[in-house]
A and B are shown apart, each in its own frame.
Chain A
Amino acid sequence: MIYLYFAAGIGLTVALQMVQAPRKRLAIGALLAAILLLGPLVNGNDATLNVLADAGIYIVLALGLNVVVGYAGLLDLGYAAFFAIGAYAYALLASPQLGIHLPFWAILFIAAALASLFGIVLGAPTLRLHGDYLAIVTLGFGEIVPQVFQNLTKLTGGPNGIAALDFPTFFGRSFGQGSMPYYYVSLGAIALTLLLVRNLRDSRLGRAWMAIREDELAAKHVGINTTAVKLAAFALGASFSGLGGVIFAAKLSLVSPDLFQFQLSVLIVSMLVLGGMGNIAGVVVGALVLTFVNGVLLPQANTMAAAVHLNVDFGQYHFLIYGAILVGIMLFRPGGLLPNRQRSEELTNPQAGTS
């Protein structure tokens, strides 16, 4: 069953990328929406929905990071920090930890705002740095944030984190233990994110991002306030990560600092690189493929290996997979599986861009 969902998600997203005719696109989109909305009602296996809800959160994260990396061309290696900020915001504002019990829906917005605020705090002094120095600064930030959460033991429970977070409620009804409500929340978050990033991409701001990505100096000279525009990319990108963090924390009912390490930031970057930086359909496919590999394929491989008494733990090969994707794609298909034509041109032909 889970294979069907991933096959439909990946296949139909690729189809949306390939097909140009508006009518056909509408039909494909409607089919995809119908499968995603109605599927669980027909066959709602909890484990399946759990993986799919995770996939949904990853799609939101990947689309958000795509604003920063894909559109504005700024490599952010500390994206997990904003995710941690969102998750901890939920953990502190909806748990017995501080005795505060704000509603889930309010915290979604609070966390998004908080994450973008931190995006501005980090970005304002650092965005004048170029390329790889900026990447290292974001990496440093990404290391500091979970460490600070770990060290503020009284507030955050230290390395153990905070458990027993409130279940969200929807018109007075608790979400409870099952994965189904989180699945639908993540669908809603994807829809909202898609709407926002599409509109952003086609807005004046979006064109300014791409101008900066292609040639910052030229962009500056046609009158773009590059600092403000880059800061906007950072803040908006971070807000999606904060939003995703709230859903993630509520679904797990637990936060702890080790959930937000560098590996998570690199996982999201790998999704972008695999699918195609700067291309919405590509990013969605990248997120789906990697969630499928991590959440379905590797556990399956383990089960199969155990069945034939083969003593291999495929779970320990996550790093190798991300690493191989990053190296392989950059060397052989820099635009990703579903390239954004403009962006892949820049990555293969250095004359076309200087990012």
Chain B
Amino acid sequence: MHQFLAQLVNGISLGGIYALIALGYTMVYGIVELINFAHGDVYTLGSFFALTILAALGVTGEVHGPMLVADIAIAALGAALLCGIVGLLIERLAYRRLRDAPRLAPLITAIGVSFILENVMQVWKGPSPVQFPSLIPNPTLSLGALDVNVKQLVIVGLAVATMFALQVFVARTRLGKAMRATAQDRDAAQLMGINVNATIALTFLIGGALAGIAGFVSGVYYQSTWFFNGFGAGLKAFTAAVMGGIGNLAGAMLGGFAIGIIESFSTWLIGGQWSNVVVFAILILVLVFRPSGLLGESRPTKV
């Protein structure tokens, strides 16, 4: 029982990171119907940016007192801003021209962008995993049989709060309305006076920023990062987005937690070397049997 709860907590924390990445995936897919393959690499880039910022601030280990808040804020916002800009640039330089091309063209381009980012990161920080400062003091809180540490609480809280904030943003604000309109029918939205290019750019900015924050959080949680992390994490986050129904924000978050729990339990029960096989098998099964996701509505195919 104790082990069961420990794995559950593990999985939910892992899932919180996937959820943050999946939110960006699902927003971008919702609006331009593109699997932004490079999204996972923007996430890794976030951890690299945060690492560089922390190094510039002179942070090498745990920080205490008011400096902790300042350091977290600077590193998280810095990574979010830089990754948002990267997301924006990718859209502007690589995807915008192909918006009306057949769907395979932007997908192939996205894979290319992903490879370019991976190579840049490999040259930047080297081919081996890089140490990340622990930053937050991490005492374990015992609630009966349940052991939770502070970092895990932060991750889950952050993922849930971000999802709600986005939900409100999309449902209540003018910009959110513009995003929904653009997702529904780009041409009609344009005729209604919505600046479609700016709206799509904004989506990529937000998605990139979320990936940046996820990268920062995962660096703090695992105390290590690697240029190739984003490939696997991105694929799992995409699985999460599809599981939750692509375009559905709450679904992406739930999917993220589900994938995290599945991964942690398969690691526990059948061994870590099988966890990727299980997750990718689920990806295939979900796409085959329920491509609209667990929460999504089935949409008629556009002809």
Contacts and interface: CB of A to CB of B under 8 A. Distances in A.
Tell me whether A and B are bound partners. Answer: yes
Interface of A: 73, 75, 77, 125-126, 129-133, 135-137, 139-141, 143-144, 147-148, 150-151, 217, 262, 266, 269, 273, 316-320, 322-328, 330-331, 334, 346-348, 350, 353-355
Interface stretch (B66-74, B110-118, B152-160, B199-207): B110-118
B273 interface: yes
Contact of A131 (B98, B103, B109, B111): B103
Contacts of B104: 73, 75, 131-132, 135, 355
A224 B280 CA distance: 32
A331 B92 CA distance: 12
Interface in B112-149: 112-120, 122-123, 127
A350 B120 contact: no
A316 B273 contact: no
Contact of A350 (B101, B107, B118): B101
Interface residues of B, number: 44
A73 B117 CA distance: 27
Interface centre among B108, B235, B283 (most CB of A within 10 A): B108
Interface of B: 34-35, 94, 97-98, 100-109, 111-120, 122-123, 127, 231, 235, 238, 273-274, 276-277, 280-281, 283-284, 287-288, 291, 301, 303
Contact of B111 (A126, A143, A266, A350): A266
A137 B238 CA distance: 12
Contacts of A350: 100-102
B contacts with A: majority SS: helix
B124 to A, nearest CB: 11
A49 B231 CA distance: 35
A339 to B, nearest CB: 14
A334 B105 contact: yes
B288 A147 contact: no
B102 A355 contact: yes
B35 A137 contact: no
The 3 A-B residue pairs with the shortest CB-CB distance in the complex, in nearest-first order? A326-B112, A323-B115, A323-B116
30 contacts: A75-B108, A126-B284, A126-B288, A129-B287, A129-B291, A132-B107, A136-B35, A136-B238, A141-B280, A141-B284, A143-B280, A144-B276, A144-B277, A151-B277, A269-B111, A316-B119, A316-B122, A317-B119, A319-B122, A322-B112, A323-B111, A323-B112, A323-B114, A323-B119, A326-B108, A334-B101, A334-B105, A346-B102, A353-B102, A355-B104
A316 B288 contact: no
A147 B222 CA distance: 23
A190 to B, nearest CB: 25
